[in-house]
Amino acid sequence: MPYFLGYTYVAVFLLFGILIPVGALLANRLLAPRHPDPEKLQAYECGLATPSDNTLPYNVRYYIFALLFVVFDVETIFLYPWAVAFNRLGLFAFVEMIVFIGILVVGLVYAWKKRLLEWL
Amino acid sequence: MPEAFGILTLATLGGALGVVLATDVVHSAYFLVLAFLGVAGYYFLLGGEFVGAVQILIYAGAVAVLFLFAVMLTRRRADPVWGRSPARWLGVGGAAALLAWLLLTHLERHPWPTKLPPPAPHNTALIGKALFRPFVVPFEVVSVLLLAALVGALLLARKEGGAS
Amino acid sequence: MGQPYLRLAAAALILAAFVLGTAAFLVWFERKLLGRMQVRPGPNRVGPGGLLQPVADILKLTVKEDILPEHADRPLFRLAPLMAFVPAFAAFVVLPFGPGLVSADLNIGLLWILAVSTVSVLALIAAGWASNSKYALLGGMRAAAQMISYEVPLVLSLIGVVLAAGSLRLGRIVAAQAHLWFAVPQVLGFIVYLIAATAESNRSPFDLPEGESELVAGFHTEYSGVRFAFFFLAEYSYVFLAAAIATLAFLGGWSGPFLPPVVWFLVKTYAVIFFIIWLRATLPRIRIDQLLSFGWKVLLPLSLVNIFLVGLFRFI
């Protein structure tokens, strides 16, 4: 399949992906009742009055996991071209990749040892 | 092709403008995702499909999540949103004008290719080969850089987490 | 000139129908199976064997009131279901159902699915943040943390497959398994993939983001009507995609004797889906600390070991 034809398909699918929910929402607008009242519009709360700022401060751990994720995601991206070209690259590239991963595993071990991989 | 370019430019510039003009930082983050996706579209249009997919995976999928977590960590929903003081307008506008001037004067001097080479079918494999032949030293340096970034960021996050 | 455009429109329409139909069928399939496994009949009122139950559900959701909770972040609240559905649908464009039976056979097919599906993490965060509800926020954040933690082993477990096939094109990956399914030499990668994919689609035993006993319904607590339906559709689309990738990357894709390739592809995919539902009927939910440390301390190292082994065996 020619390169640009493939991506024309992608573009059309993206368009369809948007049109389906938009169509359904239009149908909903035409068919559904609309009777808002203050009680109904309140955010769910179990038996209590809903506070207006109904959010919580949350754990720093989320951020730490996101940091770890970004670094390892970048690593996996380097692995893809390596894996595709593997048969043409030979032993040198294999060893280079082991060194590359090894250095990053040091980071993982660091996080592990500092007990950052635990949810506290 | 020009139509696709036009749509992508609208998405990218619209997203970028949204980042600056939105009064809610979370909205800014989502506008940034739109700009990221627009840039990914440019890569696909230029025949760099691997780079385009990576742009989506890393920027829209990972960096944006990091931004959102950071924003939500430091801000609660009821906090007042950013003001639009004249000083802010002036500062942002001035910086943008300066950057635009620098880019435009430089772009004029550079001879840009006007014709694209046809997209290579083994795009990804070519990148793999390039990584291990001419660019093997930078490639290994990248891993050290990533390690430094990881350790540094974890150290900072831990300090801030301990303090609060 | 008319021919390619006709094929394009047909492909988009057929796949749209397929995605919606599959999601509806999966809802019935899961409820029926869970019912059977728990010694009860499951849905059995609408249509033969309750088969039309999801259709009734969809019709009902379409005519339900669309509620926007007060103090919600309106634009984000409205956009979140779209952000969840569009990438799920776009991922199907590269899915081959048989030799040549694919809408767009991209060179980077496998990476395309992985890349667009990461975008739905943003939808879950948006839904959680915009709802102005602590349950939704907690559910959204948990879902995001879980998905990013299992994204890494998921992607790494597929590197071994790419390495052995030498291509990211899904058709090539299937062709490379003509003699031996990758699930056999790469059994470690297969196991890591199955676990990570189950966690990635937020399913039991990794369904913490929606643990109804603590978080009501997680990120979609405040959603109703059509918007809720699209979160649901996206979720089931991802279940199908996860099973389809398992089939294509590890179970030889559409290859098999006697039956037509499409049938083999669907049979294998539904076998994987059956397994995922079976897990839900069998295992209790795990805790978030267990979940995260399992992902980073067990699955991630195991997936690296898998890549090392696959690479090593290439040289022997």
**Encoded amino acid at C91, one letter:** A
Decide if A35 and C89 are in contact by the 8 Å CB cutoff. Answer: no
Q: Can you give the pTM of this predicted structure?
A: 0.89
For Cα atoms A110, A114, A117, give the angle at the middle one, nearest 5 degrees: 85
C31, C53 Cβ separation under 8 angstroms: yes
Closest CA–CA distance from residue B144 to any residue of chain C (Å) = 18
Among A12, A32, A117, select the one facing C12 at the smallest CB separation. A12
Taking CB atoms and an 8 Å limit, are A3 and B119 in contact across chains?
Answer: yes
Asked if C246 and C191 count as a contact pair (C-beta separation under 8 A), the reply is no
Q: Is B127 on the interface with C (CB under 8 A)?
A: no
| C-alpha distance from B107 to closest chain C C-alpha (Å) | 32
CA of B134: which chain A residue's CA is closest? Answer: A93
- Report CB contact under 8 Å: C134, A55: yes
Cβ contact, residue pair B66, A66, below 8 Å? yes
Q: Which residue of C has its CA nearest to A28?
A: C62
- Contact pairs from chain A to chain B, CB under 8 Å: 142
Where does chain B have alpha helices with state H? 2-21, 25-45, 49-54, 64-74, 86-109, 123-132, 136-163
Q: Identify the band that residue B130 occupies on the pLDDT scale cut at 50, 70 and 90.
A: confident
C1 pLDDT above the threshold of 50: no
**Residue A52 has which token pair?**
């207006």
Contact at CB, A58 and B73, closer than 8 angstroms: yes
Average pLDDT over residues B53-74: 87
Mind telling me how many Å the CA of A117 is from chain C's nearest CA? Answer: 6
Q: Choose, out of A75, A77, A114, the residue to mutate when testing the contact with B (most B CBs < 10 Å).
A: A77
In whole angstroms, what is the distance from residue C55 CA to residue B145 CA? 53
Q: Which residue has the higher pLDDT, B75 or C30?
A: C30
Q: How confident is the model at residue C50 (pLDDT cuts 50, 70, 90)?
A: confident
Sorted by where each starts, the structural domains of chain A and their CATH numbers stand as: 3-113 (1.20.58)
Cβ proximity of B51 and A77 under 8 Å = no
Residue C237 C-alpha, separation from nearest chain B C-alpha, in angstroms: 19
Chain B neighbors (3+ CB pairs < 8 Å): A, C
Nearest to A84 among B70, B124, B139 (CB): B124
**Omega within 30 of 0 (cis) for the link into C205:** yes
Given pLDDT bands bounded at 50, 70 and 90, which one contains residue C294? confident
Among C9, B140, C296, which Cα is nearest to A114's? C296
Measured between beta carbons, which residues in chain C are less than 8 angstroms from residue A108? 296, 300-301
Nearby residues of A113 by Cβ (< 8 Å), 6 or more positions away: none
CB C201, CB C239: distance < 8 Å = yes
Between C102 and A57, residue with greater pLDDT: C102
pLDDT in tens, C222-234: 777 788 888 888 8
- Per-residue pLDDT band at B82 (split at 50, 70, 90): low
* CB nearest to A31's CB, from C63, C168, C293: C63
The C-alpha atoms of residue B97 and residue A36 are separated, in whole angstroms, by 47
Interface test with B, best of C86, C110, C120, C125 (most B CBs within 10 A): C125
Nearest chain C residue (CA) to B68: C125
Residues in chain B closer than 8 A to A101 (CB atoms): 143
Q: Which residue in the set C11, C133, C162 is minimally distant from A9, CB to CB?
A: C11
B69 touches chain C (CB under 8 A): yes
- Chain C residues touching residue B37 (CB < 8 angstroms): 119
Q: Would you place residue C24 in the very low, low, confident or very high pLDDT band (cuts 50, 70, 90)?
A: confident
Residue A120 pLDDT more than 90? no
Query: Is the four-CA dihedral C53, C54, C55, C56 of positive or negative sign?
Result: positive
Residues of chain C contacting residue A65, judged by C-beta atoms under 8 Å apart: 145, 148-149, 292
User: Angle at which helices C225-250 and C74-91 pack, to 10 degrees?
Assistant: 30
Query: How does pLDDT run across A7-28, given as a tens digit for each residue?
Result: 888 888 888 888 888 888 888 8
User: Does C135 contact A at CB distance below 8 Å?
Assistant: yes
C86 in reach of chain B (CB within 8 A): no
| Contacts for A65 with CB less than 8 Å, ≥ 6 apart | C145, C148, C149, C292
Average pLDDT over residues B108-136: 79
Q: In this structure, what token pair is assigned to residue A85? A: 């070209």
Give, in order, the Cα–Cα distances in Å from A92 to each of A82, A86, C102: 12, 10, 37
Query: Which pLDDT value is given to residue C107?
Result: 84
Chains that touch C (3 or more CB pairs under 8 A): A, B
pLDDT of residue C2: 59
Query: Which chain C residues touch A98 with a CB distance below 8 Å?
Result: 308
With 50 as the cut, is the pLDDT of residue A117 above it? Answer: yes
Q: State how far the Cα of C118 lies from the Cα of C87, in Å rounded to an integer.
A: 8
**Residue C101: what are its φ and ψ, rounded to 5°?**
-90, 65
Minimum CA–CA partner of C112 in chain B: B53
Report the range out of A87-91, B27-31, C2-6, C52-56 with the highest average pLDDT. Answer: B27-31
Contacts of A27 (CB under 8 A, 6+ apart): C62, C226
Confidence of residue A56 (pLDDT cuts 50, 70, 90): low
